Structures are given as structure tokens and as C-alpha cells.
Amino acid sequence: MHDFVLATLGGAIMGVASATLLVMNGRILGISGVLGGALKVRTSEAHWRWAFVAGMLIAGAAVAAVWPEAFANTQPRTLGISLMAGVLVGVGTQLGSGCTSGHGICGIGRLSKRSMVATGVFMAAGAVTVVVARGLMAGGL
């Protein structure tokens, strides 16, 4: 399947999921917020949050079972690099009061100026990170 078709399909699925959660539950779909709320021990919303996280994991496992090439690791990284990246993403979502799905999909869709600024910062930081990481990986820095 062409990359454009896959990207369009993924975007459509995220859009439907975002709109459904907003209409049915009155909540903004931000993955870091959903997971963060699920990890809080005493929250009245833990059930739907864990169901959402489980749904993402089950959907990913189903795709991996049917189409393993979709998860091909073409850029192998060490465990240390992967852990560092995860920690940096977690810190960034806390500093930015949300993640790319919450700000980039839902926030921009609601014409939130704060989300537009946050998404621009995410994108710029991502671009700088790629340049620096490629330089470090290639021994250029």
C-alpha cells in the first residue's frame, strides 16, 4: 500500500477517534493525558482511559499479526537511546501541557492558539533533534 494511503487512513482513524471521544465523553484526545490519567490511582475516569490504552495495544498487535512489515525496524537503536527518547518525550509532554495528538489534532481542530504555538514548537524541536541526533549518530558532532 502506498505511504500516502496509509498516512491518510491513519489520519482519518485518529480524526474519528478524536471526534468520537469529544462528542461521547467531552474529553480531548491527547494520548499523554489519557495515559497519565489512567496511571493516577484514584481517578473516576480510569476505566475508559485503560480501555482506550488497551484498544491501542490490541489494534497494534492485530496490525502486527496481519502485517508485520508495518513494524519493521529500519533504524535500529540501542535500548539506552530508546529509553532516553521516551523520557524526553514524557518530559516534553509535561512541559507542553499535552502531546502532539492533543495539541496537533484536537487543539488545532478547535482553533486553539495555544495548541497552534505548542505544535509549532513540537515541530521545530523535532527538526532540531533529528539534525543533532543524525550528527551524533554519524560521528559528525
Per run of 10 residues, the mean pLDDT along the chain (length 141 residues) is 85 88 86 84 83 92 90 78 83 79 83 90 88 73 47
The parent domain of residue 6 ranges over 1-72
| Domain boundary, last residue among 51, 72, 93 | 72
Domain count, the chain: 2
Give the C-alpha distances (Å, rounded to integers) separating 69 from 2, 23, 65, 132.
Answer: 13, 34, 10, 28
| Domain boundary, last residue among 72, 90, 113 | 72
| 67 shares its domain with 40 | yes
CA angle 124, 8, 123 (to 5 degrees): 5
| 81 shares its domain with 66 | no
Q: What is the pLDDT of residue 86?
A: 83
| 61 shares its domain with 17 | yes
Which of 17, 32, 13, 22 lies closest to 86 in space, CA to CA?
32
Q: What is the pLDDT of residue 139?
A: 57
Q: What is the pLDDT of residue 107?
A: 85
CA 100 to chain centre: 6
Cell numbers for 120, please give them. Answer: 509549532
99's torsion region: left (phi>0), alpha (psi -120 to 50) or beta? beta
In whole angstroms, give the CA distance from residue 62 to residue 20.
22
Which residue is associated with the grid cell 481517578? 43
| 122 shares its domain with 60 | no
67-84 burial string, b = 16+ CB within 10 Å, else e?
Answer: eeeeeeeeeeeeeeeeee
| 11 shares its domain with 43 | yes
Q: What is the pLDDT of residue 113?
A: 93
Q: What is the pLDDT of residue 77?
A: 75
Around Cβ 109, how many Cβ atoms within 10 Å?
Answer: 14
